[in-house]
Structure 1
Amino acid sequence: MSLLVPVLTLPGWLGSGPDHWQSRWEALHGFTRVEQHDWLRPLRGDWSARLEEVLLEQREPVVLAAHSLGCVLVAWWAAHSRHTDRVRGALLVAPPEVERADLRERIPGWSPIERARLPFASTVVASSDDSYGSAEHAAALASAWGSRFVLAGARGHLNADSGLADWPEGLALLRPLREGAFPQDAA
């Protein structure tokens, strides 16, 4: 019997294709994707309600593995849900700067980003050359959210185009969250 808790993956805008590390982790490790109704025109309220619904269906606390807009979703959901105890931790990869003018136009309704401290352990991972969000922006979010911050080097948006394949480094960052090795105050 494994001591590791289940993992829910939260893709960003447009979802995660078959070569994305989230999709590969789902296939290799049995993680479960939170499927959204509309990946093309994401609505923050709808996505948050769907996350809440899936979490209420879980038998035990989970760890969230979010990418891009999924990170912004986690912060928003956590600030508004009464069920945050259903999440043990979160890996938040490549949070985008949705408050930037170009992204606000492409993905309306997701600004401002919720900056309240997360009520569970979390790690933010960023790249030094992500066109959707700077490392400085990700570090500031990590600080606001009370998250551990990891700079992954020059890896683009940390998606399929980054050539991460099964992304073992990301899995290594996820493991302590699943094991409960990062208490909230350790961030």
Structure 2
Amino acid sequence: MDCTQATRRLVRALAGFDVVIVPGLDGSLSHHWQSRWEHVLRLHGIGVHRVRQRNWARPTYRMWADTLRLTLGHTGPRPAIVVAHSLGAALSVRMAAEEGLGNVAGIFLVALADVASYRGAEQARVAEFAALPTGALPLPAMLVASRNDEWLAMSRARSLSAAWHATLRDAGRAGHIGNHAPIGAWPDGMDMLADFAASLPHTARS
């Protein structure tokens, strides 16, 4: 989909919602799709709240959960949609299952860091986040997975989405869909988020 068309559709779908952006390990740089979306959505009047961790390089679950909790507390009266990437997605889904996320209508999980199965170079930095939920989530979720992501195998994405009662979307071969992915503003992802926002119960809207 054309980026301009995708942006217009996304802005329409997000009317009545705030957005909470939750980056992953090492944060999302200025060219990351999360940062691009934040800029575009703010320009179109959407309320955006971004999690800003004190330490992106040495995460602990408790510290990151505290910061996400604080960010969620700053959202307004409108319901929020959490837009999370990688380790931020693991954080968000675990918090949703263990304690709830307050006034959050749904969580949009991109390239989830499947820490329990990951065996890459960053394993020691993320080990604390391994306890992913095993049952249905207490709120709607969409899981977006890439076919060549070292952090999450597509077969595992299918299993997790089924267990969580989440919608699974295939992002093709887009790697980890992060700082090093050449996807620009990622209009395909915008379209997926628009679909997800449109699917949320109307009772969740202000």
TM-score, normalised to structure 2, is: 0.80
**What letter matches 2:105 in structure 1?**
R
Aligned to 1:63: 81
Larger mean Cα displacement after TM superposition, 96-105 or 48-57: 96-105
Q: Counterpart of 1:163 in 2: which secondary structure?
A: coil
Structure 1: unaligned runs, 5 residues or longer: none
Kept in 1, the 8 Å contact 2:58–2:125? The answer is no
State the shift of 1:107 in Å: 1.6
Q: Counterpart of 1:162 in 2: which secondary structure?
A: coil
**What letter matches 2:99 in structure 1?**
S
Aligned to 1:142: 161
Aligned to 1:88: 105
Query: What is the aligned-residue identity percentage?
Result: 31
Aligned to 2:132: 113
Aligned to 1:176: 195
Is 1:15–2:34 an aligned residue pair? no
Kept in 2, the 8 Å contact 1:12–1:69? The answer is yes
Q: Counterpart of 2:127 in 1: which secondary structure?
A: coil
Aligned to 1:42: 59
Q: Counterpart of 1:32 in 2: which secondary structure?
A: strand
Kept in 2, the 8 Å contact 1:48–1:76? The answer is no
State the shift of 1:87 in Å: 0.6
- In structure 2, relative to structure 1, the CA distance for the partners of 1:56 and 1:32 (3 Å cut) is closer
State the shift of 1:114 in Å: 2.4
| Structure with bigger RCO (C-alpha 8 Å, 6+ apart) | 2
**What letter matches 1:16 in structure 2?**
S
Kept in 1, the 8 Å contact 2:115–2:130? The answer is yes
* 1:17-38 deviation line (CA, Å, top 9, x unaligned): 1111001011111233111121
Larger mean Cα displacement after TM superposition, 86-95 or 56-65: 56-65
The CA RMSD over aligned residues, in Å, is 1.9
State the shift of 1:85 in Å: 4.2
Q: Counterpart of 2:168 in 1: which secondary structure?
A: strand
Kept in 1, the 8 Å contact 2:81–2:107? The answer is yes
Is 1:52–2:64 an aligned residue pair? no
CA distance in 2: counterparts of 1:98 and 1:3, whole angstroms: 34
CA distance in 1: counterparts of 2:173 and 2:188, whole angstroms: 14
* 1:9-61 deviation line (CA, Å, top 9, x unaligned): 11101001111100101111123311112100111111112111211221221
> Residue 40 of structure 2 is aligned with which of 23, 28, 31?
28
Larger mean Cα displacement after TM superposition, 134-143 or 33-42: 134-143
State the shift of 1:115 in Å: 2.7
Kept in 2, the 8 Å contact 1:124–1:148? The answer is yes
The alignment covers a number of residue pairs equal to 181
